[in-house]
């Protein structure tokens, strides 16, 4: 079983909140306690300006293709089996 570190950026199959559909998208790992699940926050390329969005200034270091935003109010606990691959890691000052 893979172990992820807080700050890792992964590409995963993110289920929609209606539990009907899903979309492959990047996510920021927040917590991995060593069990089969991880806690992640959704990453989007869409510009948002809420108090819960964090613009990634070093998005290239996480191997993201475009400028991106972490949506801290879009958090999910997901099975690690949904992770397609690890993309990179955010810089410590991010």
Q: Position of tokens 């209606």?
A: 18
List domains and CATH numbers for the chain.
8-89 (2.30.30.110)
Phi and psi at 93, nearest 5°, equal: -85, 0
pLDDT in tens, 12-64: 988 777 777 888 999 999 999 999 999 999 999 988 788 999 999 889 988 99
Q: pTM for the whole thing?
A: 0.89
Q: 26, 27, 34: which is closest to 4 by C-alpha?
A: 34
Work out the angle at residue 16's Cα, subtended by the Cα atoms of residues 13 and 21, and round it to the nearest 5 degrees.
80
The pLDDT of residue 16: 76
pLDDT at 14: 81
Residue 63 region by backbone torsions, left for phi larger than 0, else alpha for psi between -120 and 50, else beta = left
């Amino acid at each position: 079983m893979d172990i992820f570190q807080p700050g890792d950026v992964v590409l995963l199959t993110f289920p929609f909140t209606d539990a009907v559909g899903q979309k492959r998208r990047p996510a920021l790992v927040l917590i991995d306690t060593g069990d089969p699940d991880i806690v992640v926050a959704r990453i989007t390329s869409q510009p948002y300006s809420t108090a819960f969005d964090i613009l990634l200034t070093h998005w290239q270091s996480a191997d993201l293709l475009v400028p991106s935003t972490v949506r801290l109010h879009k958090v999910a606990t997901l099975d690690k089996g949904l992770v397609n691959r690890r993309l990179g890691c955010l810089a410590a000052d991010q």
